[in-house]
Chain A
Amino acid sequence: MSVTEAPDSVGSAAAQPAPATDRARAERRLGWYLAGPAFVVMLLVTAYPIAQAFYESLFKFRLTDPDAREFNWLNNYLVVLSDGVWWQAVGVTVLITVITVAIEAILGFALALVMHRALTTLRPILRTAILVPYAIITVVSAFAWFYAFDINSGFVNSWFGWLPGISENTNWFGEFGTSVTVIIASEIWKTTPFISLLLLAGLAQVPEELQEAAKVDGATWWQRMYKVTIPNMKAAIMVALLFRTLDAFRIFDNVFIMTQGANDTEVVSFLAYRQTISRLEIGLGSAVSVLLFLCVVLISFLFIKLFKVDLASARGER
């Protein structure tokens, strides 16, 4: 059985531009009028700070010693990139990103299926229940998880003491493995609803006729899943993964609350925070921030070019 895709679900990349008519030009102008204000706001709140950060990153500049500010080309980048601390932080960030996104994708898909197939009467309750963690502020959820696992105030050790490897003396935030496990678990709990919502939208786009045709052909549940459902919602899956990966790569709150970067759990955002806000080294911190930005750009680029994520088709525009 071959992969069956709805003809218009994935847009063709090589659409030829048609010669512009008066009407098309008017529409384009209207488009600019409508999108222009938002575009200007975006320039002000994102492009300007990014440009400013890049400019600052070229200086040796400490906030408490503004007179000693001096231009030092790309030296800050050299310091950052030649430091093991940076690569360690990148490694930890990638580790957290890969594990959380992989688990969330599977879990999120399962939850989306449950929501999709749930009885009409149950659906609102189910969706609300699944969405609750996402409605909680990350800092608050980080504190909740921290206190649950904390050796002094936590209940996890006494409730799960019967499991191998857990006792009342397990210090979850005392070493790398256990710290990162709690950070990842908290992250998954908090953001799986986000990914499942995006996937639910994708599921709703799969044409029911294709499913029925597959059923008539005698396809099993698994065959329909692999040959019909997943190929038809590929765009939605990729967009969900892209958004979550970008989000996960910028993880900050959980690490800040739970370990403050102790036990080698430092992540890239936290490194930028430490240089800019704690050390007040604006130049060095800006360099870390610019590099973080470049990482995010790289991830987007990889997703869009290698995995051919099509944002327009995921939104149902084409």
Chain B
Amino acid sequence: MGRRSTSAAAAVVMVAGLAAACGSDDGTPTLTWYINPDNGGQVELAQRCTEAADGEYRIQTSLLPREASAQREQLARRLAANDSSIDIISLDPPFIPEFAEAGFLAEIPDDVADTVTENVVQGAIDGATWRDELVAVPFWANTQLLWYRRSVAEAAGLDPENEPVTWQQVIDAAQSQDKFLGVQGIRAEALTVWINALVTSAGGEILENPEAPADQVQLGLESEAGQAAAQVIEDIARNGLGGPGLANQDENGAMLQFQGDQGSFMVNWPFVWAATLAGVEGGNLDQSLVDDIGWALYPAVAEGEETRPPYGGINLGIGAFSEHPDFALEAAECIVTPENQAYYMVTNGNPASNTEAYDDPEVRETFPMADLIRESLEVAAPRPQTPYYNEVSSGLQSTWHPPSSVSPGSSPEEATTLITEVLKGERLL
């Protein structure tokens, strides 16, 4: 008897829960925000903005896969089928042109565009723009820094904090100290991020006319910049500076190597700082490691030239088939307020796109390098803004991998041929 009433009660609770999830019981519209995995920050922001909406609407979150490419695959399939359950989307910037061109994103009115771009770093605005129109709301903006072990840099006679360094200097320093250099050589998006930063830092572009139709896209790799980029990768890979696992080293792998005895310099996103602090707190890492870590602007390719660090992050798209686009826009505006961005940066380690957030005392306390991150974001270069980004990125990854096979003489040409033919529909990928 007792067991039966318990299970009946459980059933009632479950049914009630389901009804609440549909949002149909009291007529309050429920917005669904498709989020990328993080440390719970977006769920909290959804909660905050639901409260701020004061009963007008509710925001629930739905989790996307971990890999950016898998997020895109799921969203594209759903949106191609006119999925009206997608109201707000956490979108990786490189895929925004493709989604905008396919009509998957709702328009953003000018007044909203003005509000959400106020005090926002240029890189994040560029990343949310397609054909001169803002098509997504800038949320958080990521950039890579040069992280280094102070002891190693000192021994090698480098002072990256005060004097900008070049890749050649970093390579020589790691080599002279017999240490590993932290880069991302895995056949994944991380490799494209690295190649793009190298090519743009050398003054070039992977695509010369990214907005062109597929069969007219021109690649800029067969240039001095493309060769310089390949040269850096070749130098690191051929000398074994990337460590034994370079060919499948991602951001996390590079961080682990950097934290070890062989660590010297590393290019990586700021999450490594939060992760290292957490490692010390958890007792897995020593405080002396944290004291030994320094940070500086991403290395330049040639001395005296400006560096163009990678730009990443997440922008918020509004689903074109949403039943409540107005509420979704309102919710997006709420999510990206400077206060919320500061909260997100402090708790989840993801840098704000709004410069105001960097004045937040908590941000400054948690991220001693906050000003550097902001500075890096101002000069960061986005990856090619094209609706065919997936083809460009995958084509680069298949021709410039493994890193030990990269050579200035052949790799730029191979990538150009493959990507051009793939875009014309003449090749498989």
Q: Mark A57-70, 1 if CB is under 8 A from B, else 0.
A: 00010011110000
Assess the A174–B245 pair: CB atoms within 8 A.
yes
Assess the A278–B394 pair: CB atoms within 8 A.
yes
Counting from the closest, the 4 A-B pairs by CB-CB distance are A169-B244, A64-B102, A262-B187, A151-B245
For A151, the chain B residues whose CB sits under 8 A away are 244-245, 248
Interface residues in chain A, defined as those with a beta carbon under 8 Å from any beta carbon in chain B: 60, 63-66, 79-80, 83, 85-86, 150-152, 169-171, 173-175, 259-263, 271, 274-275, 277-281, 284, 288
Q: Which B residues from 385 to 428 make CB contacts under 8 A with A? A: 387, 390-391, 394, 401-402, 425-428
Q: A64-B76, A66-B80, A277-B73 known; 18 other A-B pairs, CB under 8 Å?
A: A63-B76, A64-B98, A64-B99, A64-B104, A79-B425, A79-B428, A85-B429, A151-B244, A171-B244, A171-B248, A173-B247, A174-B244, A174-B245, A174-B247, A260-B188, A277-B77, A279-B429, A284-B428
Assess the B428–A171 pair: CB atoms within 8 A.
no
Cβ-based interface call for B28 (8 A): no
Among the listed B80, B248, B426, B429, which residue makes an inter-chain contact with A174, where contact means beta carbons less than 8 Å apart? B248
Among the listed B187, B188, B428, which residue makes an inter-chain contact with A288, where contact means beta carbons less than 8 Å apart? B428
Q: Mark B159-198, 1 if CB is under 8 A from A, else 0.
A: 0000000000000000000000000001110000000000
Number of interface residues of B (CB under 8 A): 31
Cβ-based interface call for B63 (8 A): no
CA distance A80 to B391 in the complex (A): 16
19 contacts between A and B (CB under 8 A): A63-B80, A64-B104, A64-B387, A79-B426, A80-B428, A86-B428, A151-B244, A169-B244, A171-B245, A173-B248, A174-B244, A175-B247, A175-B402, A261-B187, A262-B247, A271-B428, A277-B77, A278-B394, A284-B425
Given A63-B80, A175-B247, A262-B187, A152 and B253 touching (CB < 8 A)?
yes
Cβ-based interface call for B69 (8 A): yes
CA distance A259 to B188 in the complex (A): 10
CA distance A281 to B187 in the complex (A): 21
CA distance A169 to B426 in the complex (A): 40
**Shortest beta-carbon distance from A143 to chain B in Å:** 13
For A262, the chain B residues whose CB sits under 8 A away are 186-187, 247-248, 401-402
**Shortest beta-carbon distance from A61 to chain B in Å:** 11
**Shortest beta-carbon distance from B181 to chain A in Å:** 16
Q: Which B residues from 214 to 246 make CB contacts under 8 A with A? A: 244-246
Assess the A275–B429 pair: CB atoms within 8 A.
yes
**How many residue pairs, one in A and one in B, have C-beta atoms under 8 Å apart?**
86
For B425, the chain A residues whose CB sits under 8 A away are 60, 79, 281, 284
CA distance A80 to B101 in the complex (A): 27
Best-surrounded residue of A63, A150, A152, A275 (most CB of chain B within 10 A): A152
Q: Mark B102-139, 1 if CB is under 8 A from A, else 0.
A: 10100000000000000000000000000000000000
**Shortest beta-carbon distance from B10 to chain A in Å:** 29
- For A173, give the chain B residue with the smallest CB separation: B248
For B77, the chain A residues whose CB sits under 8 A away are 63, 277
For B247, the chain A residues whose CB sits under 8 A away are 171, 173-175, 262-263
Assess the A85–B390 pair: CB atoms within 8 A.
no
CA distance A63 to B387 in the complex (A): 12
Assess the A278–B402 pair: CB atoms within 8 A.
no
For A85, the chain B residues whose CB sits under 8 A away are 427-429
Best-surrounded residue of A86, A174, A175, A260 (most CB of chain B within 10 A): A174
CA distance A152 to B262 in the complex (A): 14
For A260, the chain B residues whose CB sits under 8 A away are 187-188
- For B103, give the chain A residue with the smallest CB separation: A64
Cβ-based interface call for B16 (8 A): no
Given A64-B101, A171-B247, A174-B402, A278 and B73 touching (CB < 8 A)?
yes
Among the listed A66, A261, A278, which residue makes an inter-chain contact with B390, where contact means beta carbons less than 8 Å apart? A278
CA distance A279 to B419 in the complex (A): 13
Assess the A274–B188 pair: CB atoms within 8 A.
no
Assess the B429–A274 pair: CB atoms within 8 A.
yes
CA distance A90 to B232 in the complex (A): 34
Among the listed A83, A259, A278, which residue makes an inter-chain contact with B69, where contact means beta carbons less than 8 Å apart? A278
For B372, the chain A residues whose CB sits under 8 A away are none
CA distance A80 to B245 in the complex (A): 33
**Shortest beta-carbon distance from A169 to chain B in Å:** 4
Cβ-based interface call for B13 (8 A): no
CA distance A262 to B101 in the complex (A): 30
For B187, the chain A residues whose CB sits under 8 A away are 259-262
Cβ-based interface call for B52 (8 A): no
Q: Mark B77-91, 1 if CB is under 8 A from A, else 0.
A: 100100000000000
Among the listed A80, A170, A263, A279, which residue makes an inter-chain contact with B402, where contact means beta carbons less than 8 Å apart? A263
CA distance A259 to B401 in the complex (A): 12
CA distance A306 to B98 in the complex (A): 50
**Shortest beta-carbon distance from B78 to chain A in Å:** 11
Q: Mark B250-288, 1 if CB is under 8 A from A, else 0.
A: 000100100000000000000000000000000000000
Assess the A152–B245 pair: CB atoms within 8 A.
yes
CA distance A313 to B147 in the complex (A): 68
For A277, the chain B residues whose CB sits under 8 A away are 73, 77
CA distance A78 to B247 in the complex (A): 33
**Shortest beta-carbon distance from B362 to chain A in Å:** 33
**Shortest beta-carbon distance from B5 to chain A in Å:** 37
For B427, the chain A residues whose CB sits under 8 A away are 79, 83, 85
CA distance A86 to B427 in the complex (A): 10
Assess the A280–B429 pair: CB atoms within 8 A.
no
- For A66, give the chain B residue with the smallest CB separation: B80
Given A174-B402, A262-B187, A83 and B248 touching (CB < 8 A)?
no
For A64, the chain B residues whose CB sits under 8 A away are 76, 80, 98-99, 101-102, 104, 387
Given A80-B428, A260-B188, A279 and B101 touching (CB < 8 A)?
no
**Shortest beta-carbon distance from B96 to chain A in Å:** 12
Assess the A83–B428 pair: CB atoms within 8 A.
yes
**Shortest beta-carbon distance from A257 to chain B in Å:** 12
For B244, the chain A residues whose CB sits under 8 A away are 151, 169-171, 174
For A288, the chain B residues whose CB sits under 8 A away are 428
- For A280, give the chain B residue with the smallest CB separation: B76
